[in-house]
Amino acid sequence: MQRGIKLEQHKAESLLHPVQELPDAAGLPPPKFFRAPKGRPDWEAVLRAAEEAEITDEFEDVPLAEKLRRMRRAGVSLALACCVDEDPYTTSAMAALREQTDGVIAGLALAARACGAKKSEIAVADRREKKEILRRSPEAKLVVAGTRYPARALLRRSLQAEGGKAAFVGAQACAALAAAVSRGEAQHDAIVTVAGSGVEIPRNVRVRIGTPLRHLLDFCGVHERTRLIVTGSSVTGRAVTDPSVPVTAATRCVIAMLRPPRYKTYACIGCGRCSRACPRGIVPWRIYQEMERSRPDPLKLLNARSCIDCASCSMICPSGLDLAAAVKRAAAIMESGDLH
């Protein structure tokens, strides 16, 4: 069964041009530097450098050092640099890899050392991207994730079916780790895709972390009739109401929409698309039904905790039901044990 869903991608335009530099907003502190490790650092020295450089993994929004330690404890055998932007519009990971191919390769090797993974590969979206990267760096070890959403979870699932444990490290976090170890440079900027119907020229912009979002929106000429701004991911990201919030390492994209999508909901028609789409083998409609009851049966909510919150089920549902929210609520109930 082919899991995941096919989404319109809208990516080509933002990849047409090189990454642009956003001039610094007033009042930002200068970039920080620290003493880089000498020689070939061992895994502990790499983790210390990740800590000192305050690197955040842009996909999980967690400190990179913490994530690598978790991967080490879990016995990860394959470290993957995530250069796949699975959500529509966003191309910041692809742009980071195209712009800093050597940095991502070097950073991935360091991340693999730090987490104890024996193998490392760069995950790219499709064959065309693979060709593009091989043209820049013929030595790169690449694996194609595919363009069905959620591509990362689907790739991980298929790689793990072959044995071993695979885990992703963000492309930008990899490049930042290489800069930290080679130059003692702290992470101070992020590549952000600015796109959507409220943006005339979609593009990728290098932004100093801490820059107010408004500064970036002004630079990109975001239309004043924009009604919805989403950051983090165009599918599962969060809506921003205050444009003074700072850009973080995990901002990844700013999607500005002139017209927010309107959802009408209908009763479930039993088509089963939600369960076919789910990358974790959950049956979302069953959990949704159970959560509609005043006293849900915990036995019927058991696998809700394996949900990765990708929202594929909600996106595919022809009845417009927010199944992902119901599964998330069910998972929270199972976690807390509070069924009333």
Interacting residues of 332 by C-beta distance below 8 A, sequence separation 6+: none
Q: Which is nearer to ligand SF4, 257 or 316 (CB)?
A: 316
In the list 18, 31, 221, 318, the residue contacting ligand SF4 (rule: CB under 6 A) is 318
Quick check: 280 binds ligand SF4 (CB under 6 A)? yes
Q: Which is nearer to ligand SF4, 86 or 185 (CB)?
A: 86
Q: Which is nearer to ligand SF4, 3 or 67 (CB)?
A: 3
Quick check: 330 binds ligand SF4 (CB under 6 A)? no
Quick check: 301 binds ligand SF4 (CB under 6 A)? no
How far apart (Å, rounded) are the C-alpha atoms in residues 155 and 148?
A: 10
Query: What is the closest distance, in whole angstroms, from the C-beta atom of residue 298 to ligand SF4 in the complex?
Result: 17
SS3 99: helix
Quick check: 176 binds ligand SF4 (CB under 6 A)? no
Exposed e or buried b per residue across 99-127, where buried means at least 16 C-beta atoms within 10 angstroms of its C-beta: bbbebbbbbbbbbbbbbbbeebbbbbbee
In the list 260, 272, 302, 332, the residue contacting ligand SF4 (rule: CB under 6 A) is 272
Q: Which is nearer to ligand SF4, 65 or 301 (CB)?
A: 301
Quick check: 285 binds ligand SF4 (CB under 6 A)? yes
Quick check: 319 binds ligand SF4 (CB under 6 A)? yes
Exposed e or buried b per residue across 292-321, where buried means at least 16 C-beta atoms within 10 angstroms of its C-beta: eeeebeeebbebbeebbebbbbbbbbebeb
Residue 192 burial (CB count, 10 A)? 29
Quick check: 270 binds ligand SF4 (CB under 6 A)? yes
- Find the angle CA(247)-CA(240)-CA(56) to the nearest 5 degrees: 35
Q: Which is nearer to ligand SF4, 219 or 288 (CB)?
A: 288
Q: What is the dihedral of CA 224, 226, 231, 233, to 10 degrees?
A: -140
- The site string for ligand SF4 over 181-220 (x = CB under 6 A, - otherwise) reads ----------------------------------------
Return the amino acid letter for 107. Answer: G
Would you say 233 and 201 are in contact if contact means Cβ atoms under 8 Å apart? no
Quick check: 326 binds ligand SF4 (CB under 6 A)? no
| Residue 150: cis peptide before it, omega within 30 degrees of 0 | yes
Of 47-55, 140-148, 179-187, 278-286, the window that binds ligand SF4 (rule: CB under 6 A) is 278-286
* Binding residues for ligand SF4 (CB under 6 A): 268-274, 277-280, 282, 284-285, 307-313, 316-319, 321, 323-324, 327
